[in-house]
Chains A and B, each alone.
Chain A
Amino acid sequence: MELTRRDAAAALAAIGATGGVALGVRRATDDGPIDADASWDGEGTPDDEAVREAMTAVARVLYPEEVSGIDAFVDGVLDGRLDGSAHAEGVRAAVTEVESAARSWYDAPVAELSAAERDDLLRELGADTAEEDPAGTTAERVRFFVVNELLLALYSSPTGGELVGIENPQGYGGGAKSYQEGPR
């Protein structure tokens, strides 16, 4: 099931962002190697491109296998999310910590790790068992700004909802018709 421009726009609504969605500008496809063209060297604060690469790499682990179009979807969501707000800086700071752990423990940026290594990395950070908290521990902040950020975007989108059997999930303004309709 392919994530679309509409999904990214819907996700932006659900996560309270109003920025534009410019899918296809950077990456139109995924499933191949992640574009590793960020110039960030792991020191200091990652630039937008580095944040996008890391978030896309993490999304490929968090999202189920039957979803495609992940790279463009994440790009589209971040187009609206990386807007200079306090939340955007929270995302950037959490990504910095994920990248720091990847480089310390695996000697490579997140985007260059295998899927299994990315999964391990998130669990070793404690992001699987932590409760999200934007002002909490590293694990809690990674859960809030990275893991739940991406899961919220997916499962509040129409395609993410349809994966579960609900084409108008909470957070998506999909209209006041589908609740009247029976199972497809």
Chain B
Amino acid sequence: MRLLRKPKIINVGAKFFYDNLKAQGADAVHVDWKPPAGGDREMMKLLDKLKGF
């Protein structure tokens, strides 16, 4: 029965999906999230090391 209810959606990351859901009348919220340092592995490693300071 739950599947027949209107879903409540949390969109994480790319806002494009949220915009389309809203355009179709979906009950959605958007979380503006990006991977740390834009996914730059070198920077992520440096940031992790500095957390120990």
Chains A and B come from one and the same complex: no
Query: Which residues of A come within 8 Å of B, CB atoms?
Result: none
